């Protein structure tokens, strides 16, 4: 039974904190009914209000995703917007990532978003309308050393979004990518927390390079935008008549994406080397690293 026939319906993943939580509140204030989901229900339940229904949804769990979408259909009768916001960053050198970490990063940031789109698209096609907003990052178009696994998952999300956009537009569905830079959430802290066992491993050949990286992350945090900035961009993407394929959502992302993609690979490598202190080791040390000989 449709309990919200006069309201637009949004389903948002990753509403425990940050962008997802703020977006849920903003949409509700603008008259939407929001199904605000989180992997742990307790993290979202205090969002409950007349216009916000909290739900448990784990984007790495098939049964959880199916159940949440079915509940939205049953209660609302339609789905006008899916906002794929759930995600996290795994920091550390690519060489030292376990394959379990690789799989979890992609399951959360890319595969979960695709599966959610697959689950809502039959409803949107039947309606002849709908918008899917995938929250990516400026790191979905440029790679930063030591968060390459995160970048890889967001590159995948961007490619999936492009394909979905072209494939579904004839059904009245619009697929939009949001690309924030740094935001004032616990995102960067969580990224480094996920990598503590790597960052604190003084035996790692990458250890001395990770300290400048951590300082760089701290600088990004200091220059970051509030999550409200990104939430307003998402609202615009949902309500404008002709949404763009991509919205660069914060000032730092606009600067980075205006400059870095224009540089050659060599120039980008040199720039990150300068910014993160990635200096070549002495020749003897380099030989030892390359050959494994002491």
| Residues recognised as catalytic | 16, 136, 150, 154
Residue whose structure tokens are 């703020």: 22
User: Both ends of the chain: CA-CA distance in Å?
Assistant: 72
Strand partners, 174: 131
DSSP state of 178: E
- Exposure string for 131-162, b = 16+ CB within 10 A, e = fewer: bbbbbbbbbbbbbbbbbbbbbbbbbbbbebbe
* CA–CA distance, 36 with 261 (Å, rounded to integer): 35
* CA–CA distance, 149 with 143 (Å, rounded to integer): 9
| Backbone torsions φ then ψ of 106, nearest 5 degrees | -75, -35
* CA–CA distance, 178 with 267 (Å, rounded to integer): 26
DSSP state of 224: P
Q: How many Cβ atoms sit within 10 Å of the Cβ of residue 123?
A: 19
Q: Taking Cα atoms as reference points, which of 46, 91, 48 lies closest to residue 214?
A: 91
């Amino acid at each position: 039974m449709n309990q919200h026939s006069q309201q637009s319906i949004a389903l948002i993943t990753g509403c425990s904190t940050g962008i997802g939580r703020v977006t849920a509140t903003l949409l509700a204030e603008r008259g939407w009914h929001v199904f605000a989901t989180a992997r742990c229900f307790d993290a979202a339940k205090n969002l409950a209000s007349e216009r916000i229904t909290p739900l448990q949804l784990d984007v790495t769990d098939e049964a959880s995703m199916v159940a949440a979408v079915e509940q939205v259909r049953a209660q609302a009768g339609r789905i006008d917007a899916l906002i794929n916001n759930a995600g996290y960053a795994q920091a550390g050198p690519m060489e030292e990532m376990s394959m379990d970490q690789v799989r979890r990063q992609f399951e959360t940031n890319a595969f979960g978003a695709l599966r959610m789109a697959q689950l809502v698209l039959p409803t949107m096609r039947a309606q002849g309308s709908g918008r899917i907003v995938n929250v990516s990052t400026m790191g979905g178009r440029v790679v930063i050393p030591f968060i390459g696994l995160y970048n890889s998952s967001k590159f995948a999300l961007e490619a999936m979004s492009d394909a979905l956009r072209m494939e579904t537009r004839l059904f009245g569905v619009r697929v939009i990518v949001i690309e924030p830079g740094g935001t004032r959430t616990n995102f960067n802290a969580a990224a480094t927390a996920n990598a503590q066992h790597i960052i604190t491993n003084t035996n790692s050949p990458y250890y001395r390079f990770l300290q400048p990286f951590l300082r760089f992350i701290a600088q990004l945090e200091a220059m970051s935008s509030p999550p409200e900035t990104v939430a307003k961009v998402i609202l615009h993407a949902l309500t404008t008549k002709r949404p763009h394929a991509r919205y660069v959502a914060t000032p730092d992302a606009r600067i980075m994406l205006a400059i870095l993609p224009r540089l050659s690979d060599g120039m980008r490598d040199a720039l990150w080397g300068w910014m993160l202190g990635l200096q070549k080791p002495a020749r003897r040390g380099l030989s030892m690293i390359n050959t494994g000989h002491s």
